[in-house]
Chains A and B, each alone.
Chain A
Amino acid sequence: MFEAQEITAEHKDLIHDVAYDFYGQRMATCSSDQYVKVWDQNSDGKWSLTSSWKAHSGSVWKVTWAHPEFGQVLATCSFDRTAAVWEEIVGETPGPGERGTRHWVRRTNLVDSRTSVTDVKFGPRTQGLQLATCSAEGIIRIYEAPDVMNLSQWTLQYEVQCKLPCSCLSWNPSLSKMHPLMLAVGSDDPNPANGVKVFIYVYSESSRRWTKIDAITNITDPVYDISFSPNLGRSFHVLAVATKDVKIVNLTHVYDNPNLQNVITKLDAQTVAQFDDHDSTVWRVCWNVTGTILASSGDDGCVRMFKMNYINSWKPIAVLRGDGSQVPNEGHRSSVSSTLGSSVQTASQTARYIKLGAISQPRDVPWH
């Protein structure tokens, strides 16, 4: 069973993304109100806001952390057609009793896109500082900071044209040298006639190019989120796709030429699981750090968690209701909200502990 702790973010508009850092001790949120906020967890598990700043002149769609070996670095992307890289610096002159003021400075603003930048992600740590962005005009851009100590210099390394507007992207985080750099990109184009909505791009070291690999052919519904599972020891890749349902696809390398093992031209895709438990649009898919548990969230207002069991089949293991508190005593809640006028902004509550409602679906077995 999970305990819910409400965090009052005080964003003035929708929150579009939340991200834990590498160690899970900090988090960043971004919102349409053009602000990015960074939170730190104190020793008793409470989150406190440590920084908040106006990052863009449009909705901030995504926020993502770089690996901490590069410092405290965030990247954001926005409706204002830019992506930005931020670094936290500790002020030189701390106030009395303070350890130094911390604030985030914009190290670079990537302005190449002519439309909304819909996603931004740092590449695998072993590649140094790489950043991929994708945009509504359907262009994937890969930037690199040649000097990891200088975050203000980024060069646009590759521009990959994707025929459809892109909504999300994911790097393959595999640590294996057997696996080439790989990107998955999803499109939220609503027209099924426009074909496949998931694209896999593979970087070839020899030709120094990103090439599209036609692997996934069966996803023609709009894709809202895509995420490679952390690959700590698998020979194949696991890709989660948020579309009208949750799909889990295994991608296995097919070597045409056994002599050229590093040159892959084919991936064998196999949809190993498909969950329509949300029964509505699925907005997010997210893996735990070991790649064993997939969490998805959808318009039903729930986070659903899935886990692979010992016979390699995926099963739902938990359902977390975002507003779980309201389900058991609906009448009470609504009377409160009508008197308050707004059920949402009860500012006095900074944190509440909510025992979640009972799990209603028979197949939802509790975790463990």
Chain B
Amino acid sequence: MATFHVVQEGPVNALALNRDNTQVAIGGRNVFKVYTIEEDKFREVCNLRASKHLNLSFSCNDVSWSWTDDHYLATAATNGHVCVWNLTKMGKAMQEQDYQEHKRTVNKVNFHASEPNRLISGSQDGTMRYFDIRAKNAVAIFYSNTESVRDVQFSPHNPYTFAAVSENGSVQLWDVRRPDRYQQQFAAHSGPIFACDWHPESTWLATASRDKTIKVWDLTSKLTLEYTIHTIASIGHIKWRPQRRYHIASCALVVDCSINIWDVRRPYIPFAAFNEHKDIPSGVAWKEDPHTFLSSGRDCTLYQHSFNFASRPASKANPQGVSLNNKGEVLYAHKVNVNNAIVKAAVGIIRKTSTTQSPDQFHLASSLMHQFTESPRGEQSESEIFLGLANNYVLSGRSLSEMCEHNSAVAKQYGKDQVAVVWKIIKTMYGEEYLQNSTSTNREDVVSHNNLPLNNIMGGIEHTNENDQRSRGGDTPVAQFSDETENEDQVDHIAIYSNGFPTYLNFRTGLPKGDFSFGENEIDMEFDTMITDFQSGYRNYVTPQQDFVLPNEAFHLRHEIRNRTPPPDKFPNSNFPVMNDDSQTIPLEEQPQTLLTVSCLPKMPLYDSSSIVLDALKHHAILGDVQTAACVLIVLGDQRKTLNELDESTQEHWLLGYIELLSRYQLWNIATQIIKLSWIPSVEQLNQQSTRFNTNCSKCSKALQRIGWLCDRCHSSQYALCSVCHQVVKGLYAWCQGCSHGGHLAHMRQWFAINKMCPTGCRHLCEYK
């Protein structure tokens, strides 16, 4: 059995097989032919349109072949004619009857299955006419009382019954002997019904409609809707598949060019589809054999299809779905393998599962969905580790060594030994101790000299450090009382006191280029307040430092604003007098000392660790641990500039990656911290996006123009008061965007914990979320 086709000169509207399925008649506007169906091709037997004197000014809407006499064909025409053709005759005589009774297009014509010479027609004029081909006129007229009849079909079970469907969505059942009134009528669809088909065995009637459904009705004593098939387009034709109780073929009227075979029990996806037609198919005829059928199409073709070449949409459909979320949960939906379950249950044998189901199990498709959650086994999941690290890392506000030390401990605590080692390495490479050693010893002496008293105070606390063997000198004490790294301390002082020696500075800090970066300092100041609540396990703050913190807090807001101004004038000079108060003589002492170190610098080449560090960071980024890469970059502060080969776009990539992850876990505060600590303009700007708020006066709804809550129209700001306590709101003001009323955040929270309505009594159902 093969698929083959013939091309016609015009669109084909209908086709009809003869009784023994050896010949097919096709009809269309310009086509009316009979073909013999051969093994692998159609052979034209006669062309009823060929004879010139048969000037048929009408087109065939439908063709029907007599079930009892192989010589008779009937056609339904758009001009209302119903013609009967006798294939044994020639020329004009072939047209045996030409009934001109219908006033409008005839949609359907059908021979009676058992009564010879009888046929019925259904027309757009709303009538059905029952003809005896020996008589000149219709023997019975049935008035449907609907606008138009689209299909009319004799029941295969009862010779007197026929079904008619009409454009108003109703189905009528008639008895041919009772033309006065239908036996039964029911509304089947919400749109026009274009076709119906009786089930060859069951008492089912299938109807197809413009509402994109095919419905199967059981017409036994009590009418029931058995199945509904949802299709993607209006259905123009349907035909039950022989010997397959649940299968029905459908052709769409628009959009869909394929012929779909449905299993009515699985009404969502076609059992099989035939996609040969290039335009919409206009009819289907089964060859009394479930594996072959013929179809005609608007694309001027007549096809014979074989089921062997059907496409199976369901087998292409993805039967599984998997999704992972940030908590490490796995969602898995998969097809239940009915095949397996049934076979095993029945026979107890194990059969290999197969994708292609046997047809009788096609309809049993269903899915199971599971969520897999990592069960706690004492160990933490990746996401918990990520959260723990994100929450506990310290990224600013302390000296580099301290931060590295702390972060290393945090990483270790969460079982990330490798990350802990990275932090240690960073500390070793870039910590103050190392830089101290690699630079001037002169300076160290002096500094330690100056700080001896403080060093003594601090000594006992510091000595847990594994780097103790290094010369600590003035290093950590300086860092402590100024809460800054030694290195930066120097930068700052030099920046203040010796602007004339930028090149010296570059040497001193090992930076490749001569720009002062003040970022670290600012950051320190901003985050001093944040950091104070961090409870360090191995470091205590001395009292002078707390004194030092407080003034910073007062400046906090101002510095935030300054942060966005161009760099040169944002140097937080204001801070330094405070520091200098604490550290008294250091700057003055230091300046001359550091100047002296210039001469001996070349002797102390820095070990270039950048490539190793870079490799480590990249390695972690590749492993998906962008957290480490981004955090190390941040902690490195200005030292990151020594990582020559790390271009800014990669840095940006890491920061953005980390921010994205943080926002997935809804760690907004940390994400904001990262953004603020960022040195890359495009990342810094993330905080400034979509920050505009428009406020309206809650009394007159006029947009507030000024800063604050004073309304230009009402000349009062009384409605900016808290709606609960009626006090002026200073600080966080929460308001409903629906009714503009609001007040203190805490008050509003309290209120809406109990109430739903706005506290002002404006009756608005406020939605705070």
Residues of chain A having any CB pair with chain B under 8 Å: 1-9, 11-20, 22-24, 27, 29, 31-34, 45, 47, 57-59, 61, 79-81, 90, 93-94, 99-100, 116, 167, 174-178, 188, 224-225, 231-235, 280-281, 283-293, 295-301, 303, 305, 308, 310, 312, 320, 322-323, 330, 334, 337-338, 343-345, 354, 367-368
Partner pick for A345 among B332, B366, B371, B765, CB 8 A cutoff: B366
Count chain A CB atoms within 10 A of each CB in B337, B366, B629, B652 and give the residue with the most.
B366
Cβ contacts B213-240/A at 8 Å (1 or 0 each): 0000000000000000011100000000
Q: Is B624 an interface residue (CB 8 A)?
A: yes
Q: Which residues of B contact A175 (CB under 8 A)?
A: 653, 656-657, 660
Q: Is B355 an interface residue (CB 8 A)?
A: yes
Interface of A is mostly: loop
Contact B660 A323 (CB under 8 A): no
Partner pick for B325 among A20, A225, A231, CB 8 A cutoff: A20
Nearest B residue (CB) for A326: B341
Interface with A: B69-77, B372-380, B422-430, which one?
A: B372-380
- Interface residues in B644-691 by Cβ distance below 8 A to A read 649-650, 652-654, 656-658, 660-661, 664-666, 682
- Interface residues in B617-634 by Cβ distance below 8 A to A read 618, 620-626, 629-630
Cβ contacts B351-378/A at 8 Å (1 or 0 each): 0010100000000011111111111010
Contact A344 B345 (CB under 8 A): no
Q: Which residues of A contact B321 (CB under 8 A)?
A: 15-19, 29, 284, 297
- Once bound together, how far apart are the Cα atoms of A290 and B386, in whole Å? 10
- Interface residues in B155-212 by Cβ distance below 8 A to A read 212
Partner pick for B231 among A27, A57, A284, CB 8 A cutoff: A57
Cβ contacts B307-343/A at 8 Å (1 or 0 each): 0000001101111111111111111111111100100
Shortest Cβ distance from B715 into chain A, in angstroms?
Answer: 33
- Once bound together, how far apart are the Cα atoms of A344 and B322, in whole Å? 20
Interface of B is mostly: mixed
Q: Which residues of B contact A79 (CB under 8 A)?
A: 232, 269, 313
- Once bound together, how far apart are the Cα atoms of A12 and B268, in whole Å? 9
Q: Which residues of B contact A31 (CB under 8 A)?
A: 268, 367
Q: Is B460 an interface residue (CB 8 A)?
A: no
Q: Which residues of B contact A14 (CB under 8 A)?
A: 269, 314, 317, 319, 335, 365-367
- Once bound together, how far apart are the Cα atoms of A300 and B664, in whole Å? 32
Contact B326 A23 (CB under 8 A): yes
17 contacts between A and B (CB under 8 A): A6-B368, A9-B369, A12-B366, A14-B317, A14-B319, A31-B268, A57-B231, A116-B313, A233-B654, A280-B353, A287-B324, A288-B382, A291-B624, A297-B334, A334-B348, A338-B345, A368-B377
- Interface residues in B578-631 by Cβ distance below 8 A to A read 618, 620-626, 629-630
Q: Is B554 an interface residue (CB 8 A)?
A: no
Q: Which residues of A contact B331 (CB under 8 A)?
A: 18, 20, 27
Contact B344 A330 (CB under 8 A): yes
Q: Is B418 an interface residue (CB 8 A)?
A: yes
The 8 closest A-B pairs by CB, nearest first: A24-B325, A232-B657, A233-B621, A292-B624, A176-B653, A15-B367, A233-B626, A18-B321
Q: A2-B375, A7-B371, A90-B767 are in contact. Are A295 and B324 (CB under 8 A)?
A: yes
Shortest Cβ distance from B264 into chain A, in angstroms?
Answer: 13
Q: Is B255 an interface residue (CB 8 A)?
A: yes
Contact B661 A283 (CB under 8 A): no
Count chain A CB atoms within 10 A of each CB in B346, B374, B622, B666 and give the residue with the most.
B622
Shortest Cβ distance from B543 into chain A, in angstroms?
Answer: 42
Shortest Cβ distance from A348 into chain B, in angstroms?
Answer: 15
- Once bound together, how far apart are the Cα atoms of A80 and B330, in whole Å? 29
- Once bound together, how far apart are the Cα atoms of A281 and B313, in whole Å? 16
Contact B333 A29 (CB under 8 A): yes
Contact A3 B624 (CB under 8 A): no
Contact B626 A61 (CB under 8 A): no
Q: Which residues of A contact B630 (CB under 8 A)?
A: 233
Contact A13 B368 (CB under 8 A): no
Q: Which residues of A contact B765 (CB under 8 A)?
A: 93-94, 100
Nearest B residue (CB) for A19: B323
Contact B326 A13 (CB under 8 A): no
- Once bound together, how far apart are the Cα atoms of A300 and B335, in whole Å? 11
Count chain B CB atoms within 10 A of each CB in A290, A291, A320, A344 and give the residue with the most.
A290
Q: Is B266 an interface residue (CB 8 A)?
A: yes
Contact A188 B316 (CB under 8 A): yes
Q: Which residues of A contact B266 (CB under 8 A)?
A: 13
Partner pick for B268 among A19, A33, A322, CB 8 A cutoff: A33
Shortest Cβ distance from A18 into chain B, in angstroms?
Answer: 4
Contact B333 A9 (CB under 8 A): yes
Partner pick for A284 among B255, B317, B318, B371, CB 8 A cutoff: B318
Contact B622 A312 (CB under 8 A): yes
- Once bound together, how far apart are the Cα atoms of A298 and B373, in whole Å? 20
Apart from A27-B331, A232-B621, A233-B622: 9 A-B pairs, beta carbons within 8 A: A2-B375, A19-B323, A23-B665, A24-B327, A45-B373, A57-B230, A99-B767, A322-B370, A344-B368
- Once bound together, how far apart are the Cα atoms of A178 and B649, in whole Å? 6
Q: Which residues of A contact B319 (CB under 8 A)?
A: 14, 16, 283
- Once bound together, how far apart are the Cα atoms of A260 and B353, in whole Å? 53
Partner pick for B330 among A58, A235, A295, CB 8 A cutoff: A295
Q: Which residues of A contact B657 (CB under 8 A)?
A: 175, 231-233
Contact B232 A235 (CB under 8 A): no
Q: A79-B313, A176-B649, A289-B325 are in contact. Are A320 and B372 (CB under 8 A)?
A: yes
Q: Which residues of B contact A224 (CB under 8 A)?
A: 318
Shortest Cβ distance from A261 into chain B, in angstroms?
Answer: 9
Q: Which residues of B contact A32 (CB under 8 A)?
A: 268-269, 314, 317, 365
Shortest Cβ distance from B37 into chain A, in angstroms?
Answer: 30
Nearest B residue (CB) for A233: B621
Nearest B residue (CB) for A324: B370
Q: Which residues of A contact B317 (CB under 8 A)?
A: 14, 16, 32, 59, 61
Nearest A residue (CB) for B756: A94
Q: Which residues of B contact A3 (CB under 8 A)?
A: 372-375
Partner pick for A1 among B269, B375, B382, CB 8 A cutoff: B375
Q: Which residues of B contact A27 (CB under 8 A)?
A: 323, 331
Count chain A CB atoms within 10 A of each CB in B321, B327, B346 and give the residue with the most.
B321
Shortest Cβ distance from B336 into chain A, in angstroms?
Answer: 5
- Once bound together, how far apart are the Cα atoms of A330 and B345, in whole Å? 10
Contact B370 A343 (CB under 8 A): no
- Once bound together, how far apart are the Cα atoms of A11 and B649, in whole Å? 46
Contact B326 A24 (CB under 8 A): yes
Contact B652 A177 (CB under 8 A): yes
Q: Which residues of A contact B660 (CB under 8 A)?
A: 175, 232
Partner pick for B334 among A1, A24, A177, A322, CB 8 A cutoff: A322
Contact A177 B371 (CB under 8 A): no
Q: A81-B255, A232-B661 are in contact. Are A289 and B326 (CB under 8 A)?
A: yes
Partner pick for A2 among B230, B330, B336, B355, CB 8 A cutoff: B330
Q: Which residues of B contact A287 (CB under 8 A)?
A: 324
Nearest A residue (CB) for B370: A4
Shortest Cβ distance from A83 into chain B, in angstroms?
Answer: 13
Shortest Cβ distance from A192 into chain B, in angstroms?
Answer: 17
- Once bound together, how far apart are the Cα atoms of A224 and B186, in whole Å? 46
Contact B332 A289 (CB under 8 A): no
Q: Which residues of B contact A225 (CB under 8 A)?
A: 318
Contact A320 B323 (CB under 8 A): no
Q: Which residues of B contact A233 (CB under 8 A)?
A: 620-622, 626, 629-630, 650, 653-654, 657
Partner pick for B379 among A2, A354, A368, CB 8 A cutoff: A368
Q: Which residues of B contact A18 (CB under 8 A)?
A: 321-323, 331-333, 369
- Once bound together, how far apart are the Cα atoms of A320 and B636, in whole Å? 42
Shortest Cβ distance from A309 into chain B, in angstroms?
Answer: 9
Q: Which residues of A contact B656 (CB under 8 A)?
A: 175-176, 232
Contact B767 A297 (CB under 8 A): no
Count chain B CB atoms within 10 A of each CB in A7, A13, A61 and give the residue with the most.
A13
Contact B324 A297 (CB under 8 A): no
- Once bound together, how far apart are the Cα atoms of A20 and B365, in whole Å? 24
- Once bound together, how far apart are the Cα atoms of A232 and B658, in whole Å? 7
